[in-house]
Each structure stands twice: as structure tokens, then as C-alpha cells.
Amino acid sequence: MEIEEENKRSHLNVIMWIIPVLLFCIFVLMILFTPTFQDSAFKVKSWFTGFQVSEETTTEGIEKLEVRSQRNINSIELKLNNLKPVKPYIVVNTTENRYSLRNADGDTVRTGGCSTGKNEVLIAGKKRIIFKTPKGMFTVLNKQENRPWIKPDWAFIEDGLPIPSARSASRIDYNTLGDYALSIGDGYMLHGTLYQRFLGLPVTHGCVRLGDKDLDVIYHTLSKGSKVFIY
């Protein structure tokens, strides 16, 4: 009988010690997962708050505010629509090397692969030349058919060739840009390529290279002043 009593007491002792262990665990969990505890507390708090009531107004008052709000919304929507391009435009995705040609309503009329900047830094002595496609909104400044490429200095540096004089004939290349070129400023263009197999890969020095058929459609869809979005 006494042994049984002793056993019972020792069991009770063990059970009793679960309480401080539990308290310690709660403390540790609270420190480890404070944001979760706080988030739950915010939920509880919201049961007592909800929509704040500061003053009583009539239903007519609410209607008046509604009308004003709706009028503001219509006005802003109109302003937003006015910002959108009025001509067909092109969107170039430099991460996936894809383009999407859209009409003035924003509907996609053609998509396809293209090549954009290879994100390379060419180190020539103290010079560091960066080959990347700029991002942002650009405008087609001019369109040219069979435009020759006037090779800049980096084209020679990259090929290990001596840099010729500015007016040297060796700078003129009649094949590289393809049938059409659309200039978007700072020497960047949307043009054709001899390396059609690289379309879809980042291989250019900053320009956007397009396949022959795509370029043909883009050239005849976009006009001077059309927007070019590159991201």
C-alpha cells in the first residue's frame, strides 16, 4: 500500500514538472516565431476594430461621396488611357530574348525570338566597354532600308584588329544590319542579323537583333515616333 502511494507520488511529480517545461517551450516559441504570434494577435485585434466609425452621416452623405469618388475614378482612368501609345509599339523582353509587337489598342499582333545584349564587359587597357541593351521606353527615331553599319572602335578591339581612322572604308559593313534598321537613339537599333541561329540568345552588343520575317513585319508596322519598350 505504501509502495503504491510512493509510486503515485513520483508519477505526480513527473507530471507536475511538465508545466515549467511547457512554459519554457512557449517562451522559446514566442521568441522564435514572434511575427506569427503578432499576426495572430492582429487578427484578434481586428475583431474589435473593423470599419472605424467616427461620426454619423446620412445615407445621402455616403451617396454624395460615392458619386464624387466615381467621378474621380473616371477622370483618372481617362488620364491613364491618354498616356498609352497611340501608334503600334513593340515590347522587348531581354531576359527571355523575346519580342511582342502590339497594335495601338495594346493587342499583341506578333511575337517571336530576338537577340539582346550579352551583358559583357570588354576590358581593353584602361577602357571598359559594356555590351548591354538599355531598358526603358524609347522612340523610333528613323527607319532605314539596307543601312550600312559604321563599325565603332569596339568592333575592332573585340576582333583583335588595329583601330582604323574615323573615315576609313574598313569601318563600313554592308551586311551586318540586314534589310532594315530602326534607330532608337544613342547608336542602338532594332535590325536584322546574319546569325539567325542565335535568335533567342543574349549575344548582341546592345542592339536588338530580329529574324528576317519578324523584322519585315516590324519595319512595316512601326513608324517614326512609335514606342519601343525594353525590359
Question: CA-CA distance, 105 to 117, in Å (whole number)?
Answer: 29
Strand ranges (E), 73-119 = 89-93, 98-102, 108-115
**Closer of 140 and 147 to other proteins (Cβ):** 140
Judged by CB under 8 A, does residue 126 bind other proteins? Answer: no
Q: Do 98 and 81 form a contact (C-beta atoms < 8 A)?
A: no
Closer Cβ to other proteins, 66 or 146, answer by number: 66
Draw the binding track, 91-120, toward other proteins (x: CB under 8 A; -: no contact).
Answer: x-xxxx---------x-----------xxx
Q: What distance in Å separates the CA atoms of residue 45 and residue 38, rounded to the nearest whole number?
A: 10
Q: Which is nearer to other proteins, 141 or 216 (CB)?
A: 141
Question: Could you tell me the smallest distance in angstroms from the CB atom of residue 178 to other proteins?
Answer: 19
Measured from the CB atom, the residue of 58 and 145 that comes closer to other proteins is 58
CB of 194 to other proteins, least distance (A): 14
CA atoms within 13 A on the CB side of 109: 15
CA distance 231 to 94: 6
Q: How far is CA 209 from each of CA 14, 95, 148, 179, 180, rounded to the nearest angstrom? A: 77, 14, 15, 12, 11
Which residues ranging from 139 to 198 are in contact with other proteins (CB under 8 A)?
A: 157-161, 198
User: Which of 6, 7, 8, 76 lies at the binding interface for other proteins (CB under 8 A)?
Assistant: 76
**Of residues 3-32, those binding other proteins (CB under 8 A):** 13, 16-17, 19-20, 23-24, 26-27, 30-32
Residues of span 45-74 touching other proteins by CB under 8 A: 45-46, 49-59, 61-63, 65-66, 68-73
Residue range at the interface with other proteins (CB under 8 A); choices 82-90, 140-148, 180-188, 206-214? 82-90
The CA radius of gyration of the chain, in Å to the nearest whole number, is 34
HSE-CB for 226 with a 13 A CA cutoff:
23
| Least distance in angstroms from the C-beta of 217 to other proteins | 20
